[in-house]
Amino acid sequence: MPAVPRTPVSSEIKLRFIELCQFRRLTKAQLDIDPKTTILVGANNSGKTSILAALRHFLADGSPFSAFDISLSQWPKLRALGKTWESLTEDPSTVAGEQHHWENQLQLLLGAMPTLDLWFDAEAGTYHHVAPFLSKFSWKGGAVGVRLRLEPAANIDEIKQLAWTYHVARSPIKDMGADSLAWPIDLLDFWLREPSKLGQVRAYKLDAKNDPLTNFSAYSTQTLSGAVPVERKHLSRLIRVDFVAAQRGLGSEEADSRSASGPHRVGMFSNQLLKFARQHLNVASTGHGHRADLIKAVAEAQSELDKKIHEAIAGSVEEVKELGYPGLHDPQEIRFRTRIQTADLLDHGTAVQYSMHKESLEELLPEYSIGLGYQNLQSLSYQLVSFKAARLRPEKGFPAPVHLVMIEEPEAHLHVQVQRVFPGKAHKLISPNEKDASGLKSQLLISTHSSHLAHAESFDRLRYVRRVAKSAETPMATTEVVNLGQVFGSDKKTRQFAERYFRVQHTDLLFANAAIFVEGVAERMLVPLFIERDFSTLNSRYVSFLDIGGSHAHRLKPLVEKLRIPTVIITDIDPAEEKEGKPKKNGDPTLKLVAVANTGQAGLQCGNQTLRGWHPKLQQLDDFKDPTGAQLVWKEIAGCSVRFAWQLPVAEAGNSWPSTFEDSLVLTNIPWFKQLLDEKVDECGGEIEPPTGALAAVAKKVAKAGSGPELLGSLHDLMHGSFKKGDFAASIFEMISSGEPVNCPKYIADALNWLQGQLEPGQEAME
């Protein structure tokens, strides 16, 4: 492998910020890019794919724009512009004057087109790479901005030509009525049928005096006035973009292989490996000069040729192994075996074979007989290695100093174990050797729905792609991007708690449409079951459950504020009495809250830190007894609603007031618990065994206790003793699953009804 031209250590360029405007639902989306790996997370249809698609359209060759790529918010003005062109009476290019009129139309047209702003952080030694995009001569390193814009017309002459072309296409059918489906219906439909009329992407330099790298929060979108385009070739020399789509079935299964034409079908990994090998051996795809030499070499020493082919790609194959394969029971070695079947030495399905034993070449298998997960992993890994090799050996000139590799939902190809280490390993696969190319930087941009992949990284590298609901200011749904590394500010303790919690729980909160925080194991088991049975609409939505106690739920408040998805927090009221604790060192008394049973005594307080510190910020227990709507729902942040649910007096138990989920469940279902101890027979006349364990203990308390307060005190003593809440929840779960009529406590049912309403179609538009 020839050495890559070296650049000084201080000569580095990194892509640090992008802004996308008027592309699909991305009316204005800003994304700060991590120097190494950036991971896009978010719910379905939030805009992650649109971000990757926009970068492909603007930066990668062979990815043309469509009229559907123009933001929906711009369609009305473009349709109105088309109506104006329909009224033309003659070719405007033959008519003098009205320059101001056409200048206004040109600005309207360009203002509706998708744009991409790229901001690079470049050091002084990289002047020769960024010189075409510099806005001042005194540049000594720092921000360099480039705007890319789709332009159906770049000047007045071109917009006149576009207008008349549309007029001619529309004229025969413009009087057919609004219901006519004859083409073109409007200007958007014209572009759908004639995508070439969308023009081309042009590049412009941006003013570094107003750059997002200095102050991201204060940055505002720049306007172009009288700007002169910069040749696109300068940008292609600055940044290279590669993309791995979220395709499925990277490997070919045996049935597919046999049904393909020829004796074997070559899998994707084999194709990539063979292509790489041909490039190393300078085997032309057409012509027979080199192939004749190789055929002669095979005839003389086929085994020696196999060895040479293997050695030619040995280095790249070793890099692929960084992802953890092969394992103990995986194929241990990749080998080439050439065979002269046709003139195409390497164009056959078994050119790449696998040995089950590292030292043996006797037992070789074709690709389709190897596990699909292995094929997928190897194929994805080798794509990354190939991207690096192509970047380091451009067809012309020197390697681009910035290499952006985008991977869409890599979990489609990877097992869970690999997902956890994938981001770090993948970045290593695309990064050049520092010894040979110290000034060349590689950056990875990943979109994912995998909690395993997302939580493997620090919050600093996570970008939450959030849907913004319709409003009076934004009549169309849009998208914004949140840097989760900045959510907790300087509160390191809270951030550490959140990151550790996410890694342990592998919660899917970052991909959900709604969230439910629950207090403990019983709620975590039973609330989803109540939803499945009683809330069919809610059951069809993507809801994330977080098992986090009332003393910790408030720690995730900053995250909830940023995610802005409808959230329910189900927590315990925790009645407590204020009592004296151990005195301070100076002798002053201290007060502490001690949990007690709520039997109606006066002066009780709420001991729940979430209810005291987040919402509704009340302390006296009686203030929680009859809450208002404002006390139940927190709405201090625009577009963010959190419904709190705590135990309330139970009408079925004489308005007795429980203090835990288990108490409330029992008081809501007193008749059902009482009948558990009754003798029962099954359909065949056999006696049904009575309940045992924790469920039996509760049933006996219910049967024995009299009034509501007496039952509450008895349950409190039981719950705070050696009571096994997990056993109790599992027994109730089994009963509900078998069809037993166990009712959901009302305070929870009301909160779930609220959440179900929030997720009704069209609810965003009403808020």
For the chain, the domains span 64-230, 254-380, 516-766
- C-alpha 113/C-alpha 115 separation (Å) is 6
Bond prior to 326 in cis (omega within 30° of 0): yes
Geometric angle at alpha carbon 314, from 311 and 318, rounded to 5°: 165
Please name which of 474, 455, 457, 478 lies closest in space to residue 466, comparing C-alpha atoms: 478
Terminal CA-to-CA distance of the chain, rounded, Å? 60
- C-alpha 152/C-alpha 482 separation (Å) is 32
Cβ pair 350, 341 in contact under 8 A: no
Give me the mean pLDDT over the 581-600 stretch: 78
In angstroms, the Cα distances linking 280 to 247, 259, 314, 390, 397 are 28, 31, 12, 12, 19
- The predicted pLDDT at position 62 comes to 66
Q: Per-residue confidence at 259, pLDDT binned at 50, 70, 90?
A: very low
**254 three-state secondary structure:** helix
- C-alpha 544/C-alpha 516 separation (Å) is 6
Positive or negative: CA dihedral 619, 623, 629, 632: positive
- The predicted pLDDT at position 736 comes to 94
- C-alpha 697/C-alpha 718 separation (Å) is 8
What residue spans of 131-267 are helical by DSSP H?
Answer: 156-170, 187-193, 232-238, 254-259
**88 three-state secondary structure:** coil
- C-alpha 277/C-alpha 527 separation (Å) is 57
Give me the mean pLDDT over the 524-530 stretch: 96
Cβ pair 53, 41 in contact under 8 A: no
| pTM (2 d.p.) | 0.85
Mean pLDDT of the chain: 84
| DSSP category for residue 230 | B
Inform me whether the pLDDT recorded for 20 exceeds 70: yes
Strand 567-570, strand 514-518: pairing: parallel
**241 three-state secondary structure:** strand
Give me the mean pLDDT over the 509-536 stretch: 94
**429 three-state secondary structure:** helix
- C-alpha 528/C-alpha 348 separation (Å) is 53
Strand 591-595, strand 567-570: pairing: unpaired
Give 575's strand partners. 606
**Among 77-86, 307-316, 338-347, where is mean pLDDT lowest?**
338-347
The CA-based dihedral angle spanning residues 449, 450, 453, 456, taken in that order and rounded to the nearest 10 degrees: 100
Give me the mean pLDDT over the 614-635 stretch: 96
**Among 202-211, 322-331, 338-347, where is mean pLDDT lowest?**
338-347
In angstroms, the Cα distances linking 300 to 295, 312, 604 are 9, 20, 95
- Kindly report the backbone phi and psi dihedral angles of residue 568, in degrees, each rounded to the nearest multiple of 5, phi listed first: -115, 130
- The predicted pLDDT at position 450 comes to 92
Please name which of 234, 206, 240, 153 lies closest in space to residue 19, comparing C-alpha atoms: 206
**700 three-state secondary structure:** helix
Share of the chain above pLDDT 90, in %: 51
Inform me whether the pLDDT recorded for 286 exceeds 50: no
Question: Over the stretch 139-175, which tens digit does the pLDDT of each residue have?
Answer: 889 999 999 999 999 999 999 999 999 999 998 887 7
Q: Per-residue confidence at 346, pLDDT binned at 50, 70, 90?
A: low
Q: Which residue has the tokens 């009525």?
A: 177
The radius of gyration of the chain from alpha carbons, rounded to an integer in Å, stands at: 33
Beta strand spans in 530-620 (E): 543-547, 567-570, 575-580, 591-595, 605-606
Give 317's strand partners. none
Please name which of 286, 334, 341, 339 lies closest in space to residue 313, comparing C-alpha atoms: 334
| DSSP category for residue 184 | P
- C-alpha 382/C-alpha 378 separation (Å) is 6
**Among 473-482, 511-520, 667-676, 691-700, where is mean pLDDT lowest?**
473-482
The CA-based dihedral angle spanning residues 157, 160, 162, 166, taken in that order and rounded to the nearest 10 degrees: -170
- C-alpha 419/C-alpha 381 separation (Å) is 13
Share of the chain above pLDDT 70, in %: 82
